Amino acid sequence: MRLIPCMRGTDEDEDHSKQIDREIKNWIKTYNEAIKLLLLGTGESGKTTIIKQMKILHVQGFSLKERAEKAVHILHNVHESIYDIVSNMPALSIPLQNPKNIQSQHYILKWGPSGPLEYTEVYFDHVRALWRDGGVRECFKRANEYQLIDSAEYFLDRIDLIEKPDYVPSDADILRCRQKTTGIQKIEFKVKVPKSMHGGVQDFWMFDVGGQRGERKKWIQVFEGINAIWFLVACSDFDQTLREDNTQNRLKEALELFGDVWQSRFLLEAGLIVFLNKQDLLEAKVSQGRSIAPYFPQYDQFSAAGDEYTRTKMFIKSLFMGILTKKRERRQPNASERFIVGEATRSRECYFHFTTATDTDNVRTVFRDVHQIILTQLLNNIGVY
């Protein structure tokens, strides 16, 4: 009996291979045509909040399923907030003003930092009692002396709403929801191009990577082909230390990291836009009488028009602007900063914006300006504009 070879399997494999090749080619074309933005900055500077804003502004917002998932993280934010406050009261020698709340303090502490498996009515009663206690409020006011998320007050003030079984987070809630970024996140969206710049629609790809020191070694994975860097600075953190290193001031860490990014030869072709973020929290701190001077003594010699808040924000801006022209000593990067290889020597522009990442109107206005800057740079590079 003669065997006839079957060719169908080979043909199907070949067709499948060609289909994959076509998809890869299309993806590469889309990748090359998209404007790629990379969000950089230290931990808790507001990078993930910007990603959420882009989703609200340009990707039809959050679905009910996504809001339900965020509700779980918000519940944890509530516990994280009250736990961090009451667990730091002994170290700061702050007692509870109402002795009846000692039971509530023990109840919260027994769950540890991870929180309960189920958030019951009893749990929220204890949280509510503690949040009303004058000692807890006093400890909250000294939050710069320990680690506490920025949205603690926001969520603790809303526990009556959050504890409801049918609670659905609003956009404002989601923007303030704190969840540590690990790995690399990406969002794709389209933006209309002004008619003055030939019109049409432009694809944007935005990448967010974790800002903690241990996450920075992953940054180099997304440097290739980046058109613009958005570097976020938490200006209100001038009196706080890093979660991963309680000996290092957060704003000083941001300045060092900005210098590394500015000098990196991997980012030489990318435009650089600095968001001096958390202006609302900075203004609140300054209005409470907190000064940047104890942490940056040179502030006493800084002169600028305006009130104390205006002077403070302009001083912070001047610190970053000084890095643009300062010749930095070469240093051997450690394992968590491996993206620093060589130094950039080509001159380039750096744009500064004062921002509040949780304010959608503010972000919309700033992004409009940034969009124009990026498009102008790209068109200039190819001699079109």
Q: Which residues are catalytic?
A: 44, 49, 178, 208, 212
49 a known binding residue? yes
48 a known binding residue? yes
Phi and psi of 350, rounded to 5°? -135, 130
280 a known binding residue? yes
Q: DSSP assignment, residue 25?
A: H
208 a known binding residue? yes
168 a known binding residue? no
Q: Are 109 and 83 in contact (CB under 8 A)?
A: yes
Phi and psi of 99, rounded to 5°? -55, -25
Give how far the C-alpha of residue 76 lies from the chain's centroid of Cα atoms, to the nearest Å. 18
326 a known binding residue? no
* Residue 150 token pair: 């920025």
25 a known binding residue? no
User: CA–CA separation, 383 vs 371, rounded Å?
Assistant: 18
132 a known binding residue? no
211 a known binding residue? yes
10 a known binding residue? no
3-state helix vs strand vs coil in the chain, percent to 5: 55, 10, 35
45 a known binding residue? yes
* Residue 218 token pair: 């992953």
The angle formed by the CA atoms of residues 315, 318 and 322, to the nearest 5 degrees, is 145
Q: How far are the Cα atoms of 122, 136, 143 from residue 111, in angstroms, in the given order?
A: 13, 18, 21
173 a known binding residue? no
User: CA–CA separation, 131 vs 322, rounded Å?
Assistant: 42
Binding site listing for Mg(2+): 48, 181
Residue ranges at the known binding site for GTP: 44-49, 150-151, 175-181, 208-212, 277-280, 357
Binding residues: 44-49, 150-151, 175-181, 208-212, 277-280, 357
